[in-house]
């Protein structure tokens, strides 16, 4: 679903009652954070379950970022302009949409003009005791996790 939504980075099914449309594409074999979705319709109520290959962790602390804007950069629109470099993220303008995002430094090409892969630009709120899946634990300062299909960054040290 990552390529079909404008605000956010989620592999959860997209249900649009107004357009009478349901899409359950979770990017299972294509995206590192992909998942196989199952749509459940029971007594007119829609829900879903999913499976993926990612390791599961319990969150051991709360994280409530001040900016919870859901955003991401996806194929084929990887072109950015890096405007400011900070310790963990760089402030970038996404060329296609002209939106401003904080992009994880490890996901930016050395030339500063493209991201290397699909990347979430979302700081994801989590609560102690919740379950998340680790998408990328190899970056400095933050882990990329998935919670209920949504993909985003949380500070290192919150997973047990």
114-159 pLDDT tens trace: 999 999 999 999 999 999 999 999 999 999 999 988 999 999 999 9
Task: For CA atoms 138, 139, 143, 144, give the dihedral sign.
Answer: negative
User: CA-to-CA distance for 91 and 104, rounded, in angstroms?
Assistant: 9
Is residue 120 within 8 Å of residue 102, measured between CB atoms?
Answer: no
| Residue 29: predicted pLDDT | 63
- For residue range 39-78, list pLDDT tens digits in order: 899 998 988 888 888 999 999 999 999 887 888 998 899 9
Rounded distance between C-alpha atoms, residue 125 and residue 68, angstroms? 7
Question: What pLDDT is recorded for position 6?
Answer: 52
pLDDT given at position 149: 85
Return mean pLDDT, the chain: 89
pLDDT (tens digit, 9 = 90+) per residue, 2-53?
A: 444 455 567 777 888 898 888 888 776 667 777 788 889 999 898 888 888 8
In this prediction, residue 2 carries a pLDDT of 44
List of residues 6+ apart from 71 with CB closer than 8 A: 7, 8, 9, 99, 101, 120, 121, 122
Please give the pLDDT value at position 50. 80
Q: For residue 39, how many other CB atoms are within 10 A of its CB? A: 13
Tokens of 25: 């594409």
């Amino acid at each position: 679903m990552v390529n079909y939504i404008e605000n956010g980075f989620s592999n959860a099914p997209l249900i649009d009652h107004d357009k009478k449309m349901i899409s359950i594409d979770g990017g299972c074999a294509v995206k590192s954070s992909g998942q196989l979705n199952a749509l459940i319709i029971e007594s007119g109520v829609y829900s879903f379950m999913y499976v993926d290959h990612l390791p599961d962790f319990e969150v051991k602390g709360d994280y409530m970022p001040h900016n919870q804007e859901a955003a991401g950069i996806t194929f084929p629109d990887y072109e950015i302009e890096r405007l400011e470099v900070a310790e963990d993220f760089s402030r970038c303008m996404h060329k296609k949409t002209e939106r401003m995002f904080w992009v994880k430094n490890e996901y930016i090409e050395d030339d500063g003009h493209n991201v290397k892969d699909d990347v979430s630009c979302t700081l994801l709120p989590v609560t102690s005791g919740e379950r998340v899946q680790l998408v990328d634990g190899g970056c400095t300062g933050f882990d990329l996790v998935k919670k209920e299909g949504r993909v985003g960054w949380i500070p290192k040290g919150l997973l047990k």
